[in-house]
Amino acid sequence: MFSDLSTPILLAIFTAAALAVFVGGTRMTGMADRLADRTGLGEALVGGVLLGAATSLSGTLVSLTAAMEGRASLAFSNGIGGIAAQTAFLAAADLLHRKANLEHAAADLANVFQATVLMLLLAIPLLAWTTPEVAFFAVHPASLAIVAIYALGVFATRKVRQEPMWEPVDTSDTEPDEPDEPEARDSSTVALAGRFFLLMLAMGTAGWAIARTAGVLTDRFELSASVVGAVGTAVVTSLPELVTTLAAVRRGALQLAIGGIIGGNTFDTLFLTLSDLGYREGSLYHAVGPSDIFWLVAGLIMTAIMTIGQLYRQRHGPAGIGVESFAILGVYALAILTQTVLAR
């Protein structure tokens, strides 16, 4: 259906879908913040699980659709490229919080713990790629391991929040996670959750449209699927994370801002499992090339830098942001430059 459309129409559909993702992500932040207060789960956990999964739904459908069409590189690089892009968004959000370094002000053990889980999850596909191909019904065991570790990580993150064995030191620049004042004429929690779910569905539909148009444009202009996935569709479907992160910082929900990025990144590793299920020609991890693995390593490096920044907790840095934010943006810019040059 999409392959028969003209290029201007494809670009119009792509733009409209991207706009839908952008608007949906904008409205989700306030809903997630209120759900965190009402359920008592806290901004870090709700941001890391609920908001992270919701804003990643469009990207999930991009990867799954690409995999079912046999586009292994696009499916893989979209998920992994989204992790790198979203981590860079967090560094950009540091510019918005002028009082102190964002990682210092938003100190939360649950976010630090989930970031370490993310690094473990990113190491699994790298391990699968470096070992001989093994697949059962065209599914690699690494895909099952990713789901198991993700589930255990969510459970452990909640336990860490409820029964912390370590506590961050509070300073005058630390902004704790405190419930907001109740809003007048506010809807019930069930109605709020229902509207949140409807936005998820709308963004998922937009993600499907982005995947179909991106696939056709990749073929039509003979573009690198790895670059299109990691820099094109990954950035577009990551726009909700950028919007929700900036909105959360402006609301003062700093734990929600960081938790949404880390949670979205953690959820994005499930893209690989879904893509491996959708890719019927064997193991997804052995159908990708060095360019795709390049983005996996870049995302792992950026996540490690972010985690170090949360632990080091520099209060003030150059231009009012942490050194880790400069390092993250530098790594991301260098990765884009390197891949763009290699794709020529």
Give, for all 344 residues of the chain, the pLDDT tens digit.
677 888 889 889 888 888 887 777 667 766 766 776 676 665 555 555 666 666 677 777 778 888 998 989 988 988 898 899 889 988 888 877 767 777 777 778 888 899 999 999 999 999 999 999 988 888 999 999 999 999 999 889 888 878 888 877 777 776 655 555 455 445 677 787 778 778 777 877 777 787 678 778 777 877 777 777 777 777 777 777 777 777 778 777 777 778 778 888 898 898 899 999 999 888 999 999 998 999 999 999 999 999 998 888 787 777 667 788 889 999 999 998 888 776 55
pLDDT reported for residue 186: 53
Task: Provide the residue type at 61 as one letter.
Answer: L
Tell me which DSSP letter residue 50 carries: I
| 213 neighbors 223 (Cβ within 8 angstroms) | no
Q: 3-state SS of 231-250?
A: HHHHHHHCHHHHHHHHHHHH
pLDDT reported for residue 129: 95
Q: For the segment 95-133, what is each residue's pLDDT rounded down to a tens digit?
A: 777 677 777 777 788 888 999 999 999 999 999 999 999
Torsion of CA 258, 260, 262, 266, to 10 degrees: 170
Torsion of CA 248, 253, 259, 261, to 10 degrees: 20
Q: Which two tokens mark 96?
A: 């918005």
Q: For the segment 227-269, what is each residue's pLDDT rounded down to a tens digit?
A: 777 777 777 777 777 777 777 787 777 777 787 788 888 988 9
The CA-CA-CA angle for residues 18, 21, 26, to 5°, reads 130
pLDDT reported for residue 293: 94
What's the predicted TM-score (pTM) here?
0.78
Residue 139, phi then psi, degrees to nearest 5: -120, 130
CA–CA dist 238, 32 (Å, integer): 17
pLDDT reported for residue 181: 46
CA–CA dist 97, 106 (Å, integer): 10
